[in-house]
Amino acid sequence: MFPEDKNLEAAAEQLCATARWCAARGWVPATSGNFSVRDGERMLVTASGLDKGALTRAGLLEIDATGKVMAGEGTPSAETALHRVLYRKRPQAKAILHVHTIWNTLVSGRFEAAGRVTLYGYELEKAFAGVGSHESSVQVPVLMNSQDYVWLAEELERKLDEYPDAPGVLLSRHGLYTWGDSVAEARRHLEALEFLFEVEERRQAGGSF
């Protein structure tokens, strides 16, 4: 775990280390995924098309509140619009992690029609900010996937209003967005969600308990 973020540059280094950790786990295959940190109006986000296994500070772009690139080399990902919605709707969030894993791809497809994945009765739910017991019900909304990022941004905004306590949002057969008030908290949420998605998907697929 990382110490409390001191400033945006320290957070950026933690973000790059977290992206490399995700790559080592096979969670951002084929240059997929994107990662950001922010401090007030300043936001740093991964440039499009980079191998996250080799991500360094040079791979981050500084974006202003309108999405314009203020500093850095490269093109922002189309998904940068979703980061901006998330930061607007979750004022406490300082870091956002987006990964394409096998388990989040499977579980999001399974629950696309239901519109959410419900996690209940698992000890690891306590990893989420504000959850103190395995008897809590944690809901993660599932959005239909789309290449229309204007539409997707509007849908995301609606889901974040509908599920104020969700620790993450899934895009169906695409991936997971999660966040935290620091890179360390976002990483804890990511690791817990991916663990729980694997458990839930294996349970559903195997028909056990």
Report the interface residues with Zn ion, using CB under 5 A.
175
29 Cβ contact list (under 8 Å, min separation 6): 100
State which residue, 5 or 179, has the beta carbon closest to Zn ion.
179
Smallest gap from residue 27 Cβ to Zn ion (A): 11
Determine the length of the chain. 209
SS3 89: helix
Which residue's CB is nearer to Zn ion, number 48 or number 139?
Answer: 48
Cβ-closest position to Zn ion: 175
Which one, 8 or 167, has the nearer CB to Zn ion?
167
Q: Which two tokens stand for residue 123?
A: 């000890």
Report helix angle 8-24 to 183-206, nearest 10. 30
Q: Which is nearer to Zn ion, 59 or 175 (CB)?
A: 175
What minimum distance in Å lies between the beta carbon of 77 and Zn ion? 8
- How far does Cα 163 stand from its chain's mean position? 15
We find the least distance from the C-beta atom of residue 188 to Zn ion, in angstroms, to be 21
Least distance to Zn ion, CB of residue 204, Å? 23
Q: What are phi and psi of 64, to 5 degrees?
A: -90, -175
Beta strands in the chain (DSSP E): 34-39, 42-46, 60-63, 69-71, 95-99, 116-120, 137-143, 168-171, 175-180
Measured CA to CA, the distance from residue 204 to residue 142 in angstroms comes to 17
Closest approach, Cβ 114 to Zn ion, in A, equals 21
Is the Cβ of residue 8 or residue 175 nearer to Zn ion in the bound state?
175
Q: Which is nearer to Zn ion, 106 or 131 (CB)?
A: 106
Least distance to Zn ion from the beta carbon of 174, Å?
A: 6
Complete DSSP assignment for 180-206: ESSHHHHHHHHHHHHHHHHHHHHHHHH
